[in-house]
């Protein structure tokens, strides 16, 4: 099967410093991939290269993604627009008229548990609710690839689980190729069917697919490696 996205000996330098070197891995259609690793090893850089926000310094990325949605660590919402309009606006360039876009936006906000909050502005919403708006906007455009860049890092454990469960329900109805990056193993194991551990300069290790096995036999190993690696990585990868 042809990979959806393929990294071939990809490298990325910032100010002459090699953050990623000779990265090789493939992502298949409807994979839900978790990428674990400490700060500075290039997790976000990988997502930005897939989204064409950052250009590799070397190597090749072959992508068959047609429509990419990106949910950032800090919600990127328009503060002068309501929740409804924040979700509806990206639909207009896709051919929806204003009425259709708002109907679609209302549907997605409802799926994210925000029915009744459509007319609220971001300043009136909690951090978790704003991130739900971001997720609703991402799913509203019906992407074939969804990039999640530590979207729940600022939220408490209970709310993280609620939002991860919402994402899983959405993926059942709308299969999407997903890359979820985090430094929290307990988040990744809830959603991913393939899990990679990323160390400095793009060194990757794929962990067991069976999440129960991962939790029982690999999580403590990962945490030990993570703590060791965290002391040796670049500060802003």
Q: Tell me the pLDDT tens digit for each residue of 47-101.
A: 999 999 999 999 999 999 999 999 988 888 999 999 999 999 999 999 999 999 9
Residue 219: which pLDDT band, with cuts at 50, 70 and 90?
Answer: low
Residues in the chain: 237
Reading the block at residue 173, the tokens are: 């109805």
Phi, psi of 196 (to 5 degrees): -120, 145
Rounded distance, CA 5 to CA 222, Å? Answer: 26
pLDDT at 226: 52
* pLDDT mean over 12-29: 89
Beta bridge partner(s), residue 204 = 198
Q: Tell me the pLDDT tens digit for each residue of 132-180.
A: 999 999 999 999 999 999 888 777 777 888 888 888 888 888 889 999 9
Domain ranges of the chain: 1-66+144-237, 78-141
pLDDT at 210: 62
Model-level pTM? Answer: 0.86
pLDDT > 90 fraction of the chain, expressed in percent and rounded: 54
Residue given tokens 């209970």 in the structure block: 158
Residue 230: which pLDDT band, with cuts at 50, 70 and 90?
Answer: very low
Torsion sign, CA atoms 206, 143, 131, 54: positive
pLDDT at 190: 83
Which of 69, 32, 74 has its CA nearest to residue 189?
Answer: 32
pLDDT > 70 fraction of the chain, expressed in percent and rounded: 87
Rounded distance, CA 84 to CA 102, Å? Answer: 7
Rounded distance, CA 35 to CA 44, Å? Answer: 10
Whether the Cβ atoms of residue 27 and residue 195 lie closer than 8 Å to each other = no
Task: State the burial class of residue 34 (Cβ atoms within 10 Å of its Cβ: 0-12, 13-18, 19+).
Answer: buried
Task: Quote the CATH superfamily of domain 1-66+144-237.
Answer: P-loop containing nucleotide triphosphate hydrolases (3.40.50.300)
pLDDT at 32: 93
Where does the chain have alpha helices with state H?
Answer: 43-50, 83-88, 98-111, 127-140, 157-173, 185-188, 211-213, 219-230
* pLDDT mean over 215-232: 52
The three-class DSSP label of residue 44 is helix
pLDDT at 237: 43
Say if residue 1's pLDDT is above 80.
no
Residue 233: which pLDDT band, with cuts at 50, 70 and 90?
Answer: very low
Whether the Cβ atoms of residue 108 and residue 87 lie closer than 8 Å to each other = yes
């Amino acid at each position: 099967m042809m990979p959806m996205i393929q990294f071939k000996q990809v490298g990325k330098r910032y100010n002459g410093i090699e953050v990623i070197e000779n990265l090789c891995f493939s992502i298949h259609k409807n994979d839900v991939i978790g990428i674990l690793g400490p700060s500075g090893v290039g997790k976000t850089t990988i997502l930005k290269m897939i989204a064409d926000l950052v250009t590799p310094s070397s190597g090749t990325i072959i992508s068959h993604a047609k429509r990419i949605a990106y949910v950032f660590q800090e919600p990127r919402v328009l503060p002068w627009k309501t929740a409804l309009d924040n979700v509806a606006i990206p639909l207009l360039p896709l051919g929806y008229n204003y009425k259709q876009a708002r109907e679609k936006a209302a549907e997605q906000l409802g799926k994210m548990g925000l029915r009744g909050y459509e007319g609220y502005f971001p300043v009136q919403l909690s951090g978790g609710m704003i991130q739900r708006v971001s997720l609703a906007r991402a799913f509203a455009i019906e992407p074939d690839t969804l990039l999640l860049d530590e979207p729940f890092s600022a939220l408490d454990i209970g709310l993280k689980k609620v939002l991860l469960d919402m994402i899983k329900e959405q993926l059942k109805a709308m299969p999407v190729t997903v890359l979820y990056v985090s430094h929290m193993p307990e988040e990744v194991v809830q959603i991913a069917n393939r899990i990679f551990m990323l160390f400095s300069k793009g060194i990757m290790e794929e962990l067991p697919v069976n999440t129960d096995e991962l939790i029982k036999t690999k999580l403590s190993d990962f945490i030990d490696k993570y703590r060791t690696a965290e002391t040796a990585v670049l500060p802003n990868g």
